[in-house]
Amino acid sequence: MPPRRRKHQKDAGNKNSNSSESDSVQDPRLRPSKSTSSPLLRITVLAVLFGVFYYVGLGLRNITRTIPDDALNPLNAQGSSSPASTTEYDELELEARDASIFRVQELPGKGMGVVAVRDIQRGELIIRERPLFVLPSQVTTSPTDLISQQLSLLSTEDQHRFFNLSYVDIHLAVHPHLDEDDPENILEKALAIFQTNSVTAGDGKAGIFPRMARLNHACSSAFNVVYSWREREGVLVVYALKDVKKGKELLTTYTDTKRSRDQRRAYLNHQYSFHCTCDVCSLPDLESIRSDQRLMSMSEMHSRFATWGSSLIDGEEAIGLVRRIWEVGGEEGYWSERGRLAADAAWVAAAHQE
Ligand SMILES: [Zn+2]
C-alpha cells in the first residue's frame, strides 16, 4: 500500500456538468423554439468559429461527486460497465508522452501538483486517458462492493495507481486513530478515493482517471487547462486553455467558480478540505471584490439566458446576454465556458433565422 498522500484534490458535484461533447445539443434550452426574423447569422458564424476552438472549455466542471451513501437509487441496481483499462494501452508510451509535457512534483505549501516541463501552447492536448473503471453515479448495492469488484479486475499496477490517489476522508477525520492500512479499512479508503477523484464519464456514470486526478484546482481566470469526456472514444481529454510557461503549474477547476471568493472557499473547504489560495482568491481585497462582482454578474446572466427556451426572454435579449457575458468574461479572463456559450448563441441565432 503506497503511503497516504493528502493533497488538494479532485472534486465534487458539478450540477451543471457541461461534460459530454454532445451537451450543447442535449440541453433543452437549446431547442429552437422561436422563429422571428433577425440578423443573427453574423454572430452565428463568429460563435461557431469560437466554439470550435473553445470546445474544450465545455468540459468545465465535469467532476462529479458520486455514489454518496445517502443517494442510492433503486432504479439502477447493476454494477458497472467498465471500459477497457489503461493497461490495454502502452503504459510506458503514455508515461513517456506525459514526461515530455509535465511532471508531478511536490509544491511548497500545496502538496503534489502538475508542472509544465516545457512551454505549452493554448489548445494543446495535455492528457488523453481512459478510465481505470467506471461506475453508475447512483447505485442500490453497496458502493464499496462495487468498487471492490472493479478493483479486483485491475492489474496490480493499476490497483497501485488507484490507491496512490489522494482523498478527502471524513471518516478518518472523525476517527484520526483509525488505521487506514488495516484490511478492513481498505474499502473505506477506496470509497473515499472514488468519491474524491471521480469524474463524469458519460450519462449517469463516473470514472477514475489517475493522470487527470493529479491536477490541482484554481478559480476563474487562474486555471489553465480544461477537460472533457469524449463519449464516442471513451476517453477523457485535457487541453491547455491558455499558454502555459515551462515551470508553471497546470491547474484545472473542480467547480463552477462563478461565485464570490467567500462562497468558493467555503465550498472547496467543505468538499475538499482545502483553503483556496489560487491567483484569483489571492487578489488584494479591492480587486477581489471587483472580480467577485464580474463572476456573480456572469452567473446571473447565464441564469437569465437559460430562460430563453421557456420564452421568458426573446432571441434579441438572449444574444445581448451572450455578448455581455462574453465581454465580462473577457474582463475577468474567464474564457473556459465560451465554447458552450458560442454553441448556445448559435442555436438561438438559428432559431431566429427564417
Ligand atoms: Zn481560488
327 C-alpha vs ligand 1 centroid, how far in Å?
22
The pLDDT, as a whole number, for residue 350 is 82
104 C-alpha vs ligand 1 centroid, how far in Å?
20
State pTM to two decimals. 0.71
Confidence band for 171, pLDDT divided at 50, 70 and 90: low
Mean pLDDT is lowest, of 4-8, 106-110, 153-157, 279-283, for: 4-8
162 C-alpha vs ligand 1 centroid, how far in Å?
27
307 C-alpha vs ligand 1 centroid, how far in Å?
29
The pLDDT, as a whole number, for residue 175 is 52
Contact predicate 318/31, CB 8 Å: no
The pLDDT, as a whole number, for residue 138 is 84
pLDDT higher at 116 or 179 = 116
Neighbours of 239 (CB within 10 A): 21
pLDDT tens readout for residues 266-310: 999 988 888 999 999 999 999 999 999 999 999 999 999 988 878
Mean pLDDT of the chain: 75
pLDDT tens readout for residues 193-234: 998 899 989 889 999 999 999 999 999 999 999 999 999 999
In this predicted structure, the answer to whether residue 19 has a pLDDT above a threshold of 50 is: no
278 C-alpha vs ligand 1 centroid, how far in Å?
4
Residues 6+ apart with CB under 8 A from 9: 165, 166, 167, 168, 196, 197, 213, 216, 272
272 C-alpha vs ligand 1 centroid, how far in Å?
12
353 C-alpha vs ligand 1 centroid, how far in Å?
41
14 C-alpha vs ligand 1 centroid, how far in Å?
16
Alpha-carbon span 14 to 64, nearest angstrom:
6
The pLDDT, as a whole number, for residue 11 is 36
pLDDT tens readout for residues 24-69: 222 222 222 333 333 333 333 334 333 333 332 222 223 343 322 2
pLDDT tens readout for residues 298-348: 999 999 998 887 878 888 888 999 999 999 999 999 988 888 888 888 888
279 C-alpha vs ligand 1 centroid, how far in Å?
7
Instruction: Please report, for the chain, the start and end positions of each structural domain, with discontinuous segments joined by +.
Output: 23-351
> How crowded is the C-beta side of 350, counted as CA atoms within 13 Å?
15
Tell which CATH architecture fits domain 23-351. Answer: Beta Complex (2.170)
197 C-alpha vs ligand 1 centroid, how far in Å?
19
In this predicted structure, the answer to whether residue 89 has a pLDDT above a threshold of 50 is: yes
Least Cα distance to 302 among 324, 281, 280 occurs for: 324
Contact predicate 224/242, CB 8 Å: yes
